[in-house]
Structure 1
Amino acid sequence: MTSTSYITTPIYYVNDKPHIGHAYSTLAADVLARWRRMQGKDVFFLTGTDEHGQKVEKAAADAGMDPQAFTDQVSGTFRALAQDMGYSITDFIRTTEPRHKRACQVLWEKLAANGEIYLGHYEGWYAVRDEAFYGPDELTERDGVKYAPSGAPVEWVREPSYFFRLSAWQDRLLAFYEANPDFILPSSRRNEVIAFVKSGLGDLSISRTSFTWGVKVPGDEAHVMYVWLDALTNYITAAGYPDDPEAFAKWWPAELHIVGKDILRFHAIYWPAFLMAAGIAPPKRVFAHGWWTVEGQKISKSLGNAIDPRGLVEEFGLDAVRYFLLREVPFGQDGDFSRAALVNRLNGELANALGNLANRTLSLIQRNCGGKLPAPVLFAEPKPDQGVSGLAATWWQDDWEFLSEGGHGDVPANGHLPASEAWLVKQVAALLDEQKFDAALSLIFATIREANGYITRQQPWKLKKDGFDDRAEQVLRRLHDVLRTVATILQPFMPDTMAKLLAQLGVPEAARGLEHLAEPLPAGLALPPPEPLFKKVEAAA
């Protein structure tokens, strides 16, 4: 039976147009979803839009539009972004859909039946921008205005409200975190959540009466559900809750929720408490990534410095942008976007390192091997300490260093590279299991640098000129094998460009999975003439 993987992004709030931060979250989820498919898993990849709440109601009013028409319009821009960025989504959910409203109301009724909800009234400091209440000790004050930790202004609110008995879940949440140490990543965020929970949890207001744009509370339509109870429920709605129990059993619990660090509290505290209170298993992991700044400044509407990812794609190419966003910053940390950094990655790593290696290798095969793939290579024996000397010994030592990736494994008898067919794939898989995208890319490009060093030292063009035809073909075949493996495991990051590279390497579309790397391509395979993979960009003066 094929194992499953359910991966989600946050659902994006429709009070503004999408920017680079939105693209970043979904890109990370997309890369992992594509990798899981390459591993043979049945994958469900969800994104969507969060369309209820006071902030959306106000934004619609400011635009002179009905809230539904407003959300239809803005949600469409997020769906278009998913298409433009090449995300391989399974479903795009909107919280205004009937299926979602039903899931919210069924979950509410389950919580109420379990004694987890009661009616009272709420008064406290509320940030409309965050759709969140804050305690007095969390606030700062400037010029007579109080602000939440996020920087959003807060106002004093008093109104009737239903409450979720969150205080009753403090010890159970702490026990859950202890039993599931990888539930929250990175570990620094886990420590923050645990410290917050240990500081004490109060009951949570989960309804509002001061606005109407939201899911009605079952049996009391004067109230609409707190936007976060509504929004978080999207993850189980899309998985089939409550009307398709077979699908829900297949997909839930989710393997991973990818979220921004600003909404970690809702996902790592409120969400597992809601689910466990309703008798539903929590997700397996919540990963909180950092924020992007732009040229050292936080992205904000007032500064007008939001980066449109589609503009970047038009300027630099889709796969270059995808690569840069996950290569530049360790996932989980804050990062700064600059065009200069993007140009440096594109020119230095993609064009010079990978693009040049592919072009040199494939051009040399065209010129020196009649455009035909040389035969698979067995590792040269005997070893130097058994009497081999001169050029043969030099070749043997260089092959061993290259084939074993500097000693990271034994060279197998069939001559395949441990760095590619075994060690590299295994290491990349382990890093992606922990959402260490930048580390995985760093490791792959270390292999590319090794390969560039190998071709420079071996000089297959000179070997051919000096009459060492067999040796030249051995070197080129080994480089071809490395390129095949690199292109295969880079597919989730740069799907279009790696499809082009694999085609130039003569790899059939049906043989581009991880499981095919152990199957050597046949000798004599005709290869097409190579074409450049990346276009270098002139750095701004």
Structure 2
Amino acid sequence: MLIRRIKCLRYLGTRHNSSHYVTTPIFYVNAAPHIGHLYSAVIADAHCRYQRLRNPEKEVRLCTGTDEHGTKIQQAAALHGIPVAKYCDDISERYREVFRSASIQPEDFIRTTEERHKRAVAHFWRTLHTRGHIYSAAYSGWYCVSDETFLTDSQLRLDESTGSRYSLESGHPVEWTEETNYMFRLSQFQDDVRHWVKQEARIRPAKFEKILLDTLSEPLPDVSVSRPSNRVHWAIPVPDDDTQTVYVWLDALVNYLSSVGYPNEGYSAHWPPAQQVIGKDILKFHGIYWPAFLLAAGLEPPGQLYVHSHWTVDGQKMSKSKHNVVDPVQAARQYTMEGLRYFLLREGVAHSDGNYSHVKAQRILNSELADTLGNLLSRACAKSLNPGQIYPSANAEHLADLLQSLDAAKRLQDALLQLSERCASHYECNHFHLVADTAMAALHAANNFFESSKPWLLKAGAPEGNQPRLETIIAMTMDALRLCGIVLQPIIPQLATRLLDKLSVPTAQRGWNYLAESFATASPANLGGSRQLDGPTSALLFQRILEEKSVKEKEEEQKPQPAKRSKSKKKERRETMS
């Protein structure tokens, strides 16, 4: 046993594949998508977009999809009165559509009802069984239907008034279940999993590493990995035993292998995943079961689990019973999907629950996307200042004078010089809120520079010698917009594309390496020549979000209003009174 473990641990942390493989959880289709699901997907998508931007020669692969087996799916389909397969098709398509509208671009969208996945699960099961890690046994314990898992006594809460037991973590009721199942020897992999968890940057943020290590400090029981098919029939049959179906979590986790072609030749080019993005509620399954399953099958566990927290709504937990589940499609009607994407990445932090509120979303989107970013582009493109509609070159003499005589110009230069390094550091850690902070700070500096340099005093009609200075001010402002547009591409891809299109930045010059070319670095490429702005692309990037009027306000507006007195009548009345 010790020899086997040493062999397992030798390759932990070493990656031989040629791609950067990233996954989201596959989303359970017992209900429609909400902003928590979208948050997982935009984190993974933004991470992948940054990797492509920074390393264009590296193959980056993103996988997402839907988890479609288990008791809850049977129940949900029955509740809606439609066949289970049709129900899964409908909900899965809703996830696809939400992700498409949010500019999430996976290389694969996998469904656990696909034949390729069923074949992968069967092969994975047989591998575990052949290696002696699965055995059949009578099993009894407290089973949570909602969570689809057995729970130990320490994971239960007893309601003394009724005698009922509930899951300590989810709050869902449990029931005593006795049945014959297949068991996985999880207990034999406890030391291996603990070693994997303790590797540097394996679990991020670090608070979730501590949670896993606390769980691993207690002996792990073997885990049931099948269910009787007469109880859970909507599932993948256990190979060579049609009286049992594969436990939904073993089935679901294997999707990450199915997506890269396991067990066919060539899947190892992508394995193991560089990063797996998950919500904190499924940490146990990905942080304990998953690495144990993989080690038992002779496969390397993922390079990193990136765990994010949940979203509350106006300070309250999001739940169906409270009728406060936020539908991203409805939210996008008010904020646009690009605005919603920005808000989630701007406001969310992985280590703590984020709070979704209309007031906060409106304030952030209006302040940062409409005003700080959008208004600056509109001013730099205004025909009164820029009648030729060009992205001009900076005049070396006037540039030097502005940087020497205007503190705001020097502050803008300093902000742009730090932009690449700071944002790269934040992106590497998935700290998208800090990327947005850094970019907005640079744009604030650009707005301040624009105000301080007073370009409107140099516009057309002023002395001819002022034209080079005016163009230099516009060029410096557009440089700030261009650099921030490049940096923000992973977070707001559609808006960043429109911004760069308006500035006529060639597609080939939108990579991370082009952050080094600007007035701030006195790049020769930037100081020579100018280009025409893209006329068809509007300079209005993001429309301000207006507060919707209440029903009472609308009713007041519809009431007949008294006629206004004319000026002469008012005068006549004053004269009469006098």
Of 405, 413, 422, the match for 1:394 = 405
Query: Structure 2: how far apart are the matches of 1:445 and 1:105?
Result: 50
User: What is the percent sequence identity of the aligned residues?
Assistant: 38
The CA distance in 1 between the partners of 2:18 and 2:471, in whole Å, is: 41
Indicate which of 60, 64, 71 corresponds to 1:54: 71
In the alignment, which of 156, 161, 166 is matched to residue 176 of structure 2? 156
Q: Contact 2:17/2:272 (CA < 8 Å) preserved in 1?
A: no
Q: Tell me what 2:543 maps to.
A: 535
Amino acid at match of 1:425: S
2:64 aligns to what SS in structure 1? Answer: strand
- Residue 274 of structure 2 is matched in structure 1 by 255
TM-score normalised by L of structure 1: 0.90
Correspondence for 1:12? 27
Question: Structure 1 residue 9: deviation in Å?
Answer: 0.9
Offset at residue 43 of structure 1 (A): 1.7
1:405-459: CA deviations, max 9, x gaps?
2xxxxxxxxxxx42xxxx3122212212111111111111111111111111222
Moved more, 463-472 or 49-58: 463-472
Q: Aligned match of 1:225 in 239, 246, 249? A: 246
- How much has 1:536 moved relative to structure 2? 0.9
- In the TM superposition, residue 393 of structure 1 has moved relative to its aligned partner by 4.2
Aligned-residue offset at 1:524: 2.8
CA distance in 2, matches of 1:115, 1:71: 34
Structure 1 distance, partners of 2:25, 2:386, is 52
C-alpha contact (below 8 Å) 2:408/2:448 kept by paired residues: no
| Residues matched between the structures, number | 514
Q: Provide, for residues 227-268 of structure 1, a one-character-per-residue CA deviation record: whole Å limited to 9, x for no partner.
A: 11000000010011002x21x122111111111110011001
Supply the distance in 2 between the matched residues of 1:351 and 1:448 (Cα, whole angstroms).
Answer: 12
- 1:187 corresponds in structure 2 to 206
Corresponding residue number in structure 1 for 2:393? 375
1:462 to 2:461 alignment: no
Q: Does residue 110 of structure 1 match 2:127?
A: yes
C-alpha spacing 1:381/1:340, structure 2 compared with 1 (3 Å): closer
Q: Which has the larger radius of gyration?
A: 2
1:80 is paired with a residue whose SS is: helix
Judge conservation of contact 1:215–1:224 (CA < 8 Å) in 2: yes
2:323 corresponds to 1:304? yes
**CA 1:358–1:240 in 2, change beyond 3 Å: closer, same or farther?**
same
Any gaps of 5 or more consecutive residues in structure 2?
1-15, 518-524, 550-578
Q: TM-score, normalised by structure 2?
A: 0.84
User: Residue 372 of structure 1 contacts residue 523 of structure 1 at CA under 8 Å; is this kept in 2?
Assistant: no
Indicate which of 308, 329, 333 corresponds to 1:314.
333
1:138 pairs with one of 142, 151, 155: 155
Whichever residue aligns with residue 356 of structure 2, its letter is F
Tell whether the 8 Å contact from 2:395 to 2:468 is kept in structure 1 after alignment.
no
Alignment of 1:28-427 (within 5 A): 28-39=43-54, 40=56, 41-142=58-159, 143-148=162-167, 149-178=169-198, 180-209=199-228, 210-243=231-264, 245-246=265-266, 248-363=267-382, 367-368=385-386, 370-376=388-394, 378=396, 393-395=404-406, 397-405=407-415, 417-418=416-417, 423-427=418-422
Following the alignment from structure 2 to structure 1, what is the Cα–Cα distance between the partners of residues 396 and 404?
A: 16
Gaps of 5+ in 1: 383-387, 406-416
CA displacement, residues 21-65 of structure 1 (integer Å, 9 cap, x when unaligned) = 111111111111222222213221111111111111222233333
Report the CA distance between 1:462 and its aligned residue: 2.6
- Which range moves more in the overlay, 3-12 or 151-160? 3-12
Cα drift, residue 377 of structure 1: 5.3
Which of the numbers 459, 479, 482 marks the counterpart of 1:481?
Answer: 479
Higher mean displacement: 300-309 or 457-466: 457-466
Deviation string for 1:299-353 (max 9, x for gaps)? 2222222111011112221211110111112133201211111110111111111
Aligned-partner residue type, residue 240 of structure 1: G
Query: Cα distance, 1:2 vs. partner?
Result: 11
**Cα 1:392–1:291 shift into 2, 3 Å:** closer
- 1:327, 1:438 within 8 Å by CA — same for their partners in 2? yes
Query: Which residue, out of 512, 515, 522, partners 2:513?
Result: 515
CA contact (8 A) 1:121 1:158 kept: yes
SS of the residue corresponding to residue 9 of structure 1 reads: strand
Counterpart of 1:23 in 2: which secondary structure?
helix
Range that drifts further, 260-269 or 16-25: 16-25
Instruction: Verify the 8 A CA contact 1:85 1:310 in the aligned structure 2.
Output: no
SS across alignment from 2:532 = coil
Does the Cα contact within 8 Å between 1:34 and 1:88 map onto a contact in 2? Answer: no
Secondary structure, in 3 states, of the residue corresponding to 2:382? Answer: helix
Give a deviation string over 1:143-187, Cα, whole Å, max 9, x none: 432111111111111111111111111111111222x22111111
User: What is the one-letter code of the residue matched to 2:315?
Assistant: G
Q: Distance in 2 between matches of 1:172 and 1:379?
A: 65
* Aligned position for 1:414: none
Is the CA contact 1:330–1:436 (under 8 Å) kept in the aligned structure 2?
Answer: yes
Separation in 2, partners of 1:328, 1:257? 21
Q: 1: CA distance between counterparts of 2:181 and 2:394?
A: 71
Alpha-carbon deviation of 1:511? 2.6
Task: Report if aligned partners of 1:2, 1:42 keep a CA contact under 8 Å in 2.
Answer: no
Q: Is the 8 A contact 2:334 2:545 kept in 1?
A: no
C-alpha separation between the residues in 2 aligned to 1:404 and 1:306? Answer: 43
